[in-house]
Amino acid sequence: MFAHRFAAALVVGVAYVCAPIAQAQTSTAFTYQGRLTNGGLPANGTFDVRFRLLTASSGGAQLGGTQCFDQVAVSKGIFTLTLDFGAQFNGATRWLEVSVRQDAVTGNCSTGAFTTLSPRQAVTGAPQSAIAVQGSRADATPFDITVNGRRSGRYTYATTGGASGFLSSNYLGGASVNTMSAASVGSVIAGGGSVGINNADLPNSIDGSFAAISGGEFNIVNAAHAAIGGGFNNTINASASEAFIGGGVSNTASGAYNVIGGGSNNMTSASAATIGGGENNTVSGNGSTVGGGISCAASNNNTTVAGGSNCRALDQYDTVGGGQNNTADGFNATVCGGAGNMATSGQAFVGGGSSNIASQVFSTVAGGASNQATGSGATVGGGGANLASGQYSTVPGGFECQALGSDSFAAGYKSIAGYDGSFVWSDQSQSFGNGASRANTFNVRAAGGTFVSGGGLAVVGGASPYPFGTRGIFVEGFSSFGSIFAYDYFNSTARPLILNAPGGTVGIGTLSPSASYTLHVNGPVAGVGAYNALSDARYKTNIHTIDDGLAQVLQMRGVSFDWDEAAMKAKGYHMQGGRQLGVIAQEVEEVAPELVTTADDGDKSVAYDNITPMLIEAIKAQQKQIEALQARLAELERK
């Protein structure tokens, strides 16, 4: 029984012995070396050997004619023949059927019975390949390298066509199922691909010129000057010229100049887009980058997401540094990190923290939690649940503070600056409500007191510190005593207290001092020493002695009385309790109207000190009467 096998050194033998054949420019012949055994022992003698080339391992169509060699000398089982089936090798696998018989008769090779050896032998190489290696052929016939009956590599000559076309060679290595299109020029599949794993072929394939796949499985390059380093199921689409995928799994590049370093299920679709790695990341903006992470997206031009999870840069020039669930969605907006943060307007910025929002142009939230800067140019430095909604408003930190007015400032605990230009700071004793009473005010609530140390505190009157006045400083206290103190201990010398030096009114105990008085005191006044009123003759003119002082005094009525508490309280007056002595302003006004002042609200007051000059003249007039009566009495006594 005859048996036959190809020698393992077949390809090497072909490469060695075909050099003489290469001199024939159009030869399709190749050298065949086989080994024949008979009964398990190497055969010796002369044999007729017949060859057929077919398209399948069984059945199939015959290619070319049957070649029969008469009286082939076999020594120690080895024989060598030159076969030529013509140009039958187009890259597909061919199958060689060998039949033998021992025969010493010359010239009968075409007749009689032969023993057909089984199985057929796969042939994927051709003599043209050896000729191409020698560089002596003018056609583009492939050169296959076959190991153990399977193609392990293929060189092809390629041109883009025409006199000005590119001339280059392709190399198709790796698994026999790897493919390269006929239109490809200068491309390389260095290796990889697999055959029959889990009953499936996983080829690498190229359809583009000057493209490359280094290895891996099931990778596809369909663009020119593009490359895949390795990995599995990575794809560079036809629109992605000059793109690169380093490796990973199921990554897709669809834009020119794209780069995907690795990872899995990453996608680039715009020009010059980059993904460093990670998983399920997408870049759809020109010149944009996702460094890595999971499910991140750079969806507009020139945007950057450094990494993190579920981070998105949606408008031009946006940046997300990392973190989780962060979004930059305004022109040139930035979120540095943290979790659940959003910068949703032009030049908006969130530094970090969690659940923070900067939603207007130039707005900033540096950090903290649940803070919002919703006014243009507004800033929240940190803290929790703070809001800066006024234009250029500021909350440096704290908890539940709100700067609602333009250029307002709120800090501390639950303070609210609800007016433009207002400053509000609150301690933690209780919420401050709307701590500002009106615009452009400075407001502080400190249950433990307010202390200013240093060179001193200077206050230059601004506009509208309190709704009941127009200028000045408003000081409010909630203690039952000791609300306001004013001291000056400089060198233990006395210092003046000056209120409203340019003029106007000063109110004590009243929120609305009458314009009729320079000093309006609501309540009794206590003092030690005399109260001196200016009375210098140098400042007086049109001086006249009071006439009929006694007659005027006699028309006045001194009374004792009680204050009407209900009427006083309704007016906000604070008067001394108990039985009082005085006069009635309306009665005095009828006698001496110059002693009575009517305030702008209609209330009348009496200048009690000004009654003294009238009393002086009344006493003098009365004294004259007494002296006249005494003179008459003395005269009567003499009689």
Would you list the DSSP string of 435-498? --SSSS-EEEE-TT-----SS------EE-SSTT-SEE------SSS--------GGG------
286, 268 Cβ separation under 8 angstroms: no
Domains and CATH numbers, the chain: 2-123 (2.60.40), 386-497 (no CATH), 507-523+546-639 (1.10.10)
What pLDDT score was predicted for residue 414? 92
Q: How far is CA 379 from CA 178, 342, 479, in A?
A: 60, 14, 35
State percent of the chain over pLDDT 90: 49
Residue 290: the pLDDT is 98
Of 66-75, 87-96, 335-344, minimum mean pLDDT range:
87-96
In tens, the pLDDT along 574-588 reads: 777 889 999 999 999
Is residue 5 scored above 80 in pLDDT? no
Give buried/exposed letters for 269-305 (b at 16+ CB in 10 A, else e): bbbbbbbbbbbbbbbbbbbbbbbbbbbbbbbbbbbbb
Place of tokens 């207290």: 497
Q: What is the pLDDT of residue 279?
A: 98
pLDDT in the model for residue 18 = 31
Query: Would you state the structure tokens that stand for residue 457, as one six-digit string?
Result: 């505190």
Q: Which of 350, 302, 294 is CA-nearest to residue 327?
A: 350
| 562 pLDDT higher than 70 | yes
Give pLDDT tens digits for 368-411. 999 999 999 999 999 999 999 999 999 999 999 999 999 999 99
Q: How many CB atoms lie within 10 A of CB 482?
A: 7
Whether residue 470 has pLDDT greater than 60: no
Enumerate long-range contacts of 586-595, CB under 8 Å, 24 or more apart.
Answer: 587/556, 587/557, 588/556, 590/555, 591/552, 591/555, 591/556, 592/552, 592/556
Q: Name the β-bridge partners of 395.
A: 380
Burial of residue 38 (CB within 10 Å: 0-12, 13-18, 19+) is middle
pTM, full prediction: 0.58
Mean pLDDT is lowest, of 242-251, 574-583, 611-620, for 574-583
500 against 621, higher pLDDT: 621
Does the pLDDT at position 206 exceed 90?
Answer: yes
Q: State residue 66 phi and psi, 5-degree precision.
A: -80, 135
> Is the pLDDT higher at 429 or at 47?
47
Contact 582, 606 (CB under 8 A): yes
Residue 110 binned pLDDT confidence (cut-offs 50, 70, 90): confident
> Regarding predicted confidence, which is higher, 6 or 523?
523
- Residue 458 pLDDT grade (very low, low, confident, very high; cuts 50, 70, 90): low
Among 327-336, 519-528, 546-555, 611-620, name the one with the lowest average pLDDT: 519-528
**What six digits make up the tokens of 615?**
């009393």
Cα gap 375→383, rounded to integer Å = 18
DSSP result, 355-396: S-EE-STT-EE-SSBS-EE-STT-EE-SSBS-EE-STT-EE-
Using the predicted structure, report yes or no on whether residue 347 has a pLDDT greater than 50.
yes
Q: How many of the other CB atoms lie within 10 Å of CB of 597?
A: 16
pLDDT of residue 244: 98
Of the ranges 127-141, 245-259, 360-374, which one carries the lowest mean pLDDT score? Answer: 127-141
Dig out the tokens for 430 from the structure.
């209780």
Q: Is the pLDDT of residue 504 over 70?
A: no
pLDDT for residue 296 is more than 90 = yes
Q: Label residue 197 by pLDDT band (50, 70, 90).
A: low
pLDDT band at 490 (very low <50, low <70, confident <90, very high): low
pLDDT at 533: 76
Sign of the dihedral defined by the CA atoms of residues 41, 46, 47, 49, in that order = positive
User: What is residue 334's predicted lDDT score, i.e. its pLDDT?
Assistant: 98
Instruction: State residue 150's pLDDT score.
Output: 60
Q: Which two tokens stand for residue 255?
A: 């834009």
